[in-house]
Amino acid sequence: MTFSHLDDKGQAKMVDVGEKQISRRTATARSIVLLPAEVLEQLTGGDIQTKKGSVFQTAIIAGIMAAKKTGDLIPLCHPLGLDNCDINIHLNDRQEIVIDCTATITAKTGVEMEALVGASIAALTVYDMCKAMSHDIVIRETKLMEKTGGKRDFKRA
């Protein structure tokens, strides 16, 4: 197995995408946040209102801002000008907060990291805005759900 971000001497490198073809690329990542009952009780009308404001709307804005800054946060990521970034937050049937971040670009490189960063920061923002009610909040997972464009597509079953 070879790592794309290491040269033949094992030194870190940015992947050269100069010869790659421009294509439409999309990635969706998901973060799951578990809120304790006392925080979930505050959920009304599809959101939680705190003294800081709307939890989900603030998390959406934070996630979009973070996705746009991925190249500044992850050392070997290419700085990308996203065509679109969309974040959806909802409560599933297991009473978990589900955060889906979809990033899209027409470029020579994919947007998986942008989607993962967007979902992660949105989840951390939910934590930050709800921690006054409880510190028993768990960000259970963040994972890539789907990507299209580039060499190969991926879809989690």
pLDDT at 2 over 80: no
Quote the pLDDT of residue 113.
97
The pLDDT value recorded for residue 5 is 80
Which residue matches tokens 């890539």? Answer: 144
Domain ranges of the chain: 23-147
The answer to whether the pTM exceeds 0.75 is yes
CA angle 74, 80, 84 (to 5 degrees): 115
Query: Two tokens at 59?
Result: 């998390």
The torsion defined by the Cα of 30, 102, 70 and 138, in degrees rounded to 10, comes to -20
Active-site annotation holds for 47: no
Query: Mean pLDDT over residues 40-60, rounded?
Result: 92
1 pLDDT above the threshold of 80: no
* CATH code for the structural domain at 23-147: 3.30.70.640
Name the active-site residue from 8, 128, 136, 153. Answer: 128
